[in-house]
């Protein structure tokens, strides 16, 4: 099956605004990008792209009409802004996933530089609205172009100093270096910050590793310009080249990073073996983990040392929640230690809608794969609530609602029977 691919050529470096301008120049819908950015920002962003020409090359430059925003935002606040927009169906699920992944990589790098935990990081420059617009805008532009696979070139490293909220720092910035661990780099004798933390995180989060030009059937390309000037006269721009491919060699790796309708993401599992808490405490621990924001929590019975019956209590979370959820283990159980590990997972895109049944309104979750609807499920808690109000069992209420959903017909799009098989 053909896949849509984009190659980011970064011979002059990369920044968020340059990447976004290049993707729009390559054909992304600027209106779609603006709507997504404003949905997350919660306000108009004065978004515009203007023609730019350097060294005989024509492209676009991003311009934002925003007051200087010195508001410091935590990773949690930024996550809430993005997930709220996704939950309200103001941005696509894949837009939210890609934007969050970029921010999470930046949070881990900033935490490493400043000696704090990722969830404790307060973003300064990248917490400003213009940077939020850059990152959400890039994710929305990729969605507008229906890009399945992102690839990017090696990056040039320059020298000098750059002014930040923390004072003057050497170029490349410390966070940029941490983000680019494992990425192919080469030195350039030039002063100035031509690879920003945001640009570096876009490469690492979406492409995973540097590469040469991938094989593709070319569809379009575009140049996005920055404001700095290279001393050797090269145009300060990123080129985005869009194409289709059936046999990209890195597809297996990139499928994990960003599949066509499966989202690859990094998660953490936190676990504790407990043999001296009561069943009531174990039940409360699992509930407290979910209340604290775990993606999932579960309990498995085990036989521990000295033949003692016990439990393995596990929670799934993002990188920024590991420390906070570990604290829940200590507060709600008798454990004196937890362990955690990093994993990858795939999730199907999902959306939520309201279905008006004869028992009342109920939220329905719809999952899709390759354009086909895989499942439509009424939310269990709401089914139970409706059942209690009319005197039915939960099973009876569920059967009635599902029968009415079946009569109402499938949502727009293919059914699971039409999903292409590998």
**Where do the domains of the chain lie, and which CATH numbers do they carry?**
3-258 (no CATH), 264-346 (3.30.70.1380), 350-418 (no CATH)
Model's pTM, two decimal places?
Answer: 0.60
The pLDDT-based confidence of 414 (bands split at 50, 70, 90) is: very low
Mean pLDDT of 174-201: 90
- Kindly state the percentage of the chain with pLDDT values over 70: 85
d(CA 194, CA 81): 28
Residue 394 has a pLDDT of 92
Mean pLDDT of 336-364: 87
The pLDDT-based confidence of 345 (bands split at 50, 70, 90) is: confident
Asked whether the predicted pLDDT for residue 267 surpasses 90, the reply is: no
Residue 45 has a pLDDT of 85
Highest mean pLDDT (candidates 67-81, 268-282, 397-411): 268-282
Strands 73-74 and 122-123: antiparallel
The pLDDT-based confidence of 256 (bands split at 50, 70, 90) is: very low
Residue 421 has a pLDDT of 42
Mean pLDDT of 391-419: 74
Q: Which residue has the higher pLDDT, 232 or 72?
A: 232
Among positive and negative, which fits the CA dihedral 75, 81, 84, 89? negative
Least confident of 4-8, 20-24, 315-319: 315-319
Residue 264 has a pLDDT of 54
The pLDDT-based confidence of 254 (bands split at 50, 70, 90) is: very low
Least confident of 95-104, 183-192, 200-209: 183-192
Residue 320 has a pLDDT of 72
d(CA 348, CA 265): 11
Residue 111 has a pLDDT of 79
Residue 50 has a pLDDT of 94
Asked whether the predicted pLDDT for residue 69 surpasses 60, the reply is: no
Mean pLDDT of the chain: 84
The per-residue pLDDT for range 118-154, each reduced to its tens digit, is: 565 566 544 467 788 999 999 999 999 999 999 999 9
Q: Which residue has the higher pLDDT, 291 or 421?
A: 291
Residue 292 has a pLDDT of 87
Residue 90 has a pLDDT of 94
Residue 418 has a pLDDT of 43
Residue 257 has a pLDDT of 44
Rg from Cα positions in the chain: 24
Residue 231 has a pLDDT of 84
């Amino acid at each position: 099956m053909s896949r849509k691919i984009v190659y980011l050529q970064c011979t002059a470096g990369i920044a968020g605004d340059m990447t976004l301008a290049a993707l729009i120049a390559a054909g992304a819908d600027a209106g779609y990008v603006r709507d997504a950015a404003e949905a997350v920002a919660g306000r108009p962003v004065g978004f515009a792209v203007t023609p730019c020409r350097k060294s005989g090359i024509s492209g676009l430059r991003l311009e934002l009409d925003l007051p200087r925003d010195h508001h410091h935002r935590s990773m949690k606040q930024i996550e809430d802004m993005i997930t709220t927009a996704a939950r309200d169906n103001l941005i696509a699920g894949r837009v939210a996933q890609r934007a969050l992944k970029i921010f999470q990589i930046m949070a881990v790098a900033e935490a490493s530089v400043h000696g704090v935990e990722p969830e404790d990081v307060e973003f300064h420059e990248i917490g400003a609205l213009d940077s939020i617009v850059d990152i959400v805008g890039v994710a929305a532009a990729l969605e507008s172009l229906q890009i399945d696979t992102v690839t990017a070139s090696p990056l040039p490293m320059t020298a000098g100093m750059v002014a930040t909220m923390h004072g003057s720092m050497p170029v490349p910035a410390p966070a940029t270096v941490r983000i680019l661990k494992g990425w192919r780099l080469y030195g350039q004798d030039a002063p100035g910050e031509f690879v920003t933390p945001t640009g570096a995180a876009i490469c690492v989060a979406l492409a995973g590793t540097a590469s040469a030009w991938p094989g593709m059937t070319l569809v379009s390309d575009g140049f996005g310009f920055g404001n700095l000037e290279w001393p050797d006269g090269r145009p300060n721009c990123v080129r985005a080249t869009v194409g289709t491919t059936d046999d990209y060699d890195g597809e297996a790796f990139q499928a994990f990073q960003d599949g066509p309708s499966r989202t690859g993401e990094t998660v953490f599992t936190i676990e504790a073996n407990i043999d001296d808490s009561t069943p009531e405490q174990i039940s409360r621990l699992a509930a407290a983990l979910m209340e604290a924001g775990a993606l999932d929590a579960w309990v498995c019975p085990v036989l521990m040392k000295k033949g003692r019956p016990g439990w393995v209590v596990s929670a799934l979370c993002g990188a920024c929640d590991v420390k906070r959820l570990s604290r829940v283990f200590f507060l709600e159980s008798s454990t004196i230690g937890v362990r955690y590990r990093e994993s990858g997972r795939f999730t199907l895109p999902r959306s939520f809608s309201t279905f008006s049944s004869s028992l009342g309104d109920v939220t329905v979750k719809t999952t899709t794969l390759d354009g086909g609807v895989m499942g439509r499920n009424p939310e269990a808690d709401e089914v139970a609530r409706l059942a209690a109000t009319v005197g039915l069992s939960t099973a009876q209420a569920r059967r009635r609602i599902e029968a009415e959903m079946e009569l109402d017909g499938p949502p727009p799009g293919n059914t699971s029977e039409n999903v292409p098989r590998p």
